Structures are given as structure tokens and as C-alpha cells.
Structure 1
Amino acid sequence: MTSGLVLQGVRIALGDRELLALDREVAPGSVLTVMGPSGVGKSTLLSFVAGFLTQPFSASGRVLLDGAEITAKPPEARHVGLLFQDPMLFPHLSVGGNLLFGMPSGRSGRATHAAEALARFGLEGFADRDPATLSGGQASRVALLRLLLSEPRAALLDEPFSKLDRHLRGEIRSFTFMRLREAGLATILVTHDAEDAEAAGGPVVELSL
């Protein structure tokens, strides 16, 4: 496999206790869902892939992205985008400022590109808005757009829909997976929700304590 995300012989441990062992390939535009109870190592797996794993956790194995090994690279050099339970928008920046923060600095017409992207996401005219004024669904769309505008080659989703009201969850879930597929991103989703896994439409790994 020369494109997509590959987890090769990945082992994650907490002290002497192995939490998980995983060998998987995630093709561009597809989603691998990882499910299991709290404490089984789901979010820790994402930290390892993204380059943020810290003690007392340890890991071994290799992570490859589009054929290149990224296991030892610093987080900013891995080209992996992240979505969390909270949108984590910077409160001191406008919506547009949040998007510009994530975009490659060398790109020309960045503000225009951000405004056009907002319009495609149903958020036309939102560039000057304070993130504090956004609804939960709007903030989730801005967070996803910030990820996509950073031009990653893979995406990691850590319970990104869990704090949304149930009536919004299905809509934002479908919107997110559609956009990730359009962008051709290999994606790993961590969730407790079987409906998330069903909507993602890819293989599911069930972890247990």
C-alpha cells in the first residue's frame, strides 16, 4: 500500500500492561473505527499516530503515511489533522482567523479562499464572527473546515460528535464523513457510539480491557 495510513505492528502499553496491538491499513477516503470502553487505549492510539504520546504510555511499531514512515517525525511534520470532542476554536481569533491559523502560510489569497470555503460549508459571511457566538453545529463545521484547510493527508477523530445534541449529531456526522471522503483522507475514528461506526461505513476494531 503506497497511499493512505498504515499501522504496522503497533503496540501501546501502560507500564508493563499492553493496552492494544494493531496492524491495519486505512485507504484514502475511508474510515477505520476503533471502539471500546474507557481506558482501553483508543485516544492513546491517536496520540501515538499524531506524535503526542507521553509517559507513562509507551509504544512500538511503525506508522506510515502515503508510503513514508512518520513514526519518528515531530507532530507538525506528520500532516495529520485532528478533531476532538470540543471544537477547540481559538477564542481570541475570529472564525476567519481560526481558519487562517491552520492554512499553509505560503498560500496566496488565503482570506479569499477561507471565505469561499465557509460559503461551501453553509457559513457564508461568518469570517468576522466571534467563535463564542456559534451554535454547536456551526462550531463543529468550522473545526472541520480548519482541519481541511490545513491540507492534511490523514485525519484522526476523537469522539468528535459526543457533545453535540442528539438532533444535531446525525447531521454533523454525515457532513463530516462526506467532506473527509471528498478530500480523500485516510481517517481513524475513536468512538463509543455504534451509530458513529455505522455512519463511517468502514471496518471496525473492537478493543476490550
Structure 2
Amino acid sequence: MFLREGINLIDIQSSSKLSLDYLNASYVNSNPIYSEEAENAKVVGEPAEGDPSLIRDDALAKYASGGKYVNGITSYDGKERNLELTEVEVPESGRYKLVVQYANGEYSGSHSYNNNVVERYAQISVNGGEAETVYFKNTISWQQFATVTIDVNLKKGKNSIKFYNNNTYNGGSNPYGGSNGSGTSPFVDTVMVPKQYTPAFDKFEIYAQPSVVAKKEK
């Protein structure tokens, strides 16, 4: 099984009675078959009005890999912006693990007792295929980088992976109040989060599916 760096939660379920004594994790390797800094990828578009450069090396990049990151990928103003990995080369066709290192410190609204964190999202398209929407948990700070692991199907040889944001977040119903202070207006996603972005991308890595290793006898 593929485990990320840091703390992992493993949920074990059984259809019959099970007495579990211990788990033994056999380390295989941590070598990606592809690695790319976000700032070295193909970044398309110009910043939205009032936004800084899409490729940034400001104070928030202190903990970014390589000292830079890519932020500002959005389409709320109708203009195209995206980030694309164009030279993702793998030895065989199959399913691979895409690890995205990112930061997301966005908040919406103002409450003295609530942190209104925004779960930024991205549409991810492999080789021009149908895009998958992936949400990125808020990391509380723009200097705090985390990872999300995504299963992607790649073909033997070179592949392309595109990341963008189509500004179509739908907040759904809001039974505890609407978009105004008194809660009388219905929930409107573009009022709560009018300008929707991908997270700040830092680094991308591709790993092969974990190999089955020989069982270790106790």
C-alpha cells in the first residue's frame, strides 16, 4: 500500500470475526519515477486583475520546494489559466500515484468564532481526457505545505496532465442560514466564494503502484 510521508490512518474491516495482533509495514522505496517543480511546468495565462504573478517566489515561498510555487490559477473572469505537466514519462501503461504538494490558506467571510476555511479544488485532465475534480484540504497557512495522492491512468511513454479551475463550486443548501447576515437569503456559492482558485501548487511526483513483497514470517 502507498503511504504518504508523516501520519497515515489505516482502516481494517473484515466480514468475519478478526483478532488483530499487529501490523508490519515492509519498506520498499520512496523513489518517484517522475518529479517536477510547479514553477518549471507549463503555466498558461496571465494573472487575474489585482493578482500577483502566477509563478511566485515571495515570502510565502519560504517553505516551498525550490523556493517557488504557482498560485492564481482561476477562470472566474472568463480567461484561461492552467498548469500542465507535458513530459510525464512512464515505463508501462497502467495506474500510477500522482502526489501533489500544495498549500491552501484561504478563508471566506468573517466570524469571531469560526475559521471559514475554503477547500480549494482543481480539475485534473490526463492526456486531454475527461477531467476529475479533486478537492484540497485547507492547510491553515500559505506557508504550510501538504500532499494529496491521486490515482491516474497513464500510457507507456510520454503523458500530459493539466490542472485548472472552472469556477463551478456549488455550495448546495444551507439549512443554518443564507448568504446574508440574517440568514433569510438562500445560500449562493458565488457570494461566499466568488473567485475560485486551485490551491498553490508546489511540486508534483509520480510513483508506480506499490509492489507486493514476500510475507515476513514472525
* Same fold per superposition (TM over 0.5): no
The structure with more radius of gyration: 2
Q: Give 1 or 2: higher strand fraction.
A: 2
| TM class, shorter-length | under 0.3
Q: Give 1 or 2: higher helix fraction.
A: 1
Q: Which has the higher contact order (CA 8 A, sep 6+)?
A: 1
